[in-house]
């Protein structure tokens, strides 16, 4: 394991995203290795169980909620490490486990246990290493999982990709205390992720994140409103803030 993974920066990221380093707890309700979800039968079985466990109305809603959760647990930490910590963290899906703790009082949504992590510094030849990190993250690992989710749930890929985007976009909103160099780097990486990276980096015909961005002050930023609906309103008595199904006046009344 790289020394980076024992630093305060990584520990803060792991804590924020509820990553447990190692194997899942033995007493959890259920655990599944993410790479198992590449297989249609295993993915369908887990989605059917997950749908009942979280009381989702159908597979579409369950798959959408799961994709958002994976975006938060798995994708966002890797993007954070790449842009803000200048590290290509390899978090292989075969060593990444979704698990549901026995204590359901916090949430019935899964947490992530990760084993066998590795990290490579992006300090030299950064653009080439960034290309490799993005292709490893998406084309090699995440996209096959999303395609299986789409197939077993009949959920369009566009919804699944936007569910990932809503977890990535907020990471690139500048903080007041960010330095000019940090802001430039964040803008550069976000532009690459959403505009410049070719479709093959995502194992798609074209970059699937581009349509979820707009331009402000000549720089790409995430759109403030979703294009697709994630069906959260079917799991709750309220709409999410970015929902395209409601008008601006109603959004102002949301919590």
* Tokens representing residue 246 in the block: 């409601």
- Report the range of poorest mean pLDDT among 119-128, 157-166, 234-243: 234-243
- Report the range of poorest mean pLDDT among 130-144, 164-178, 229-243: 229-243
Interstrand relation of 19-21 and 87-90 (parallel, antiparallel or unpaired): unpaired
Q: What average pLDDT does the structure give for the chain? A: 90
Give 221's strand partners: 214
Higher-pLDDT residue of 217 and 69 is: 69
Concatenated DSSP letters of 197-240: S-GGGGTSSS-TTGGGEEEETTEEEE-SS-SS---GGGTSSS--
pLDDT given at position 2: 67
Half-sphere exposure of 157 (CA within 13 A, CB side): 17
Measure the CA–CA gap between 200 and 139, rounded to whole angstroms.
Answer: 7
Average pLDDT score over residue span 130-134: 96
Question: What residue spans define the domains of the chain?
Answer: 3-245
195 φ/ψ sector (left φ>0, alpha ψ -120 to 50, else beta): alpha
- Report the range of poorest mean pLDDT among 2-6, 10-14, 128-132, 182-186: 2-6
Percent of the chain with pLDDT over 90: 67
203-235: pLDDT as tens digits: 999 999 999 999 988 899 999 889 999 998 888
Query: What b/e sequence results for 140-166 when a residue is b if at least 16 CB atoms lie within 10 Å of its CB, and e otherwise?
Result: ebbbbbbebbbebbebeeebbbbbbbb
* Tokens representing residue 193 in the block: 């992720």
User: In which band, very low, low, confident or very high, does the pLDDT at 254 lie, cut at 50, 70 and 90?
Assistant: very low
What is the three-class DSSP state of 21? strand
Average pLDDT score over residue span 154-183: 92
The CA dihedral of 109, 148, 80, 16, to the nearest 10 degrees, is 10
**Contact criterion met (CB below 8 Å) for 98 and 110:** yes
């Amino acid at each position: 394991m790289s020394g980076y993974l024992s630093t305060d920066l990584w520990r803060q990221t792991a804590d924020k995203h509820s990553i447990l380093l190692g194997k899942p707890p033995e007493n959890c309700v259920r655990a599944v290795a993410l790479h198992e979800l590449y297989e249609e039968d295993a993915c369908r079985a887990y989605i059917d169980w997950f749908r009942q466990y979280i009381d989702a109305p159908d597979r579409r809603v369950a798959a959408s909620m799961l994709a958002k959760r994976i975006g938060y647990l798995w994708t966002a930490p890797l993007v954070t490490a790449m842009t803000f910590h200048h590290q290509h963290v390899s978090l292989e899906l075969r060593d990444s486990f979704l698990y549901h703790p026995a204590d359901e009082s916090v949430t019935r949504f899964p947490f992530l246990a990760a084993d066998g992590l590795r990290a490579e510094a992006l300090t030299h030849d950064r653009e080439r290493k960034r290309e490799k990190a993005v292709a490893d993250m998406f084309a090699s690992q995440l996209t096959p999982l999303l395609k299986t989710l789409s197939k077993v749930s009949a959920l369009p890929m566009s919804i699944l990709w936007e569910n990932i985007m809503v977890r990535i976009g907020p990471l690139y909103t500048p903080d007041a205390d960010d330095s000019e160099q940090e802001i430039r780097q964040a803008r550069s990486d976000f532009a690459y992720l959403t505009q410049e990276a070719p479709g093959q980096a995502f194992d798609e015909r074209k970059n699937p994140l581009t349509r979820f961005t707009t331009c402000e002050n000549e720089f790409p930023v995430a759109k403030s409103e979703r294009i697709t609906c994630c069906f959260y309103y079917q799991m709750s008595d309220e709409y999410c803030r970015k929902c395209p199904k409601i008008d601006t006046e109603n959004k102002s009344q949301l919590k």
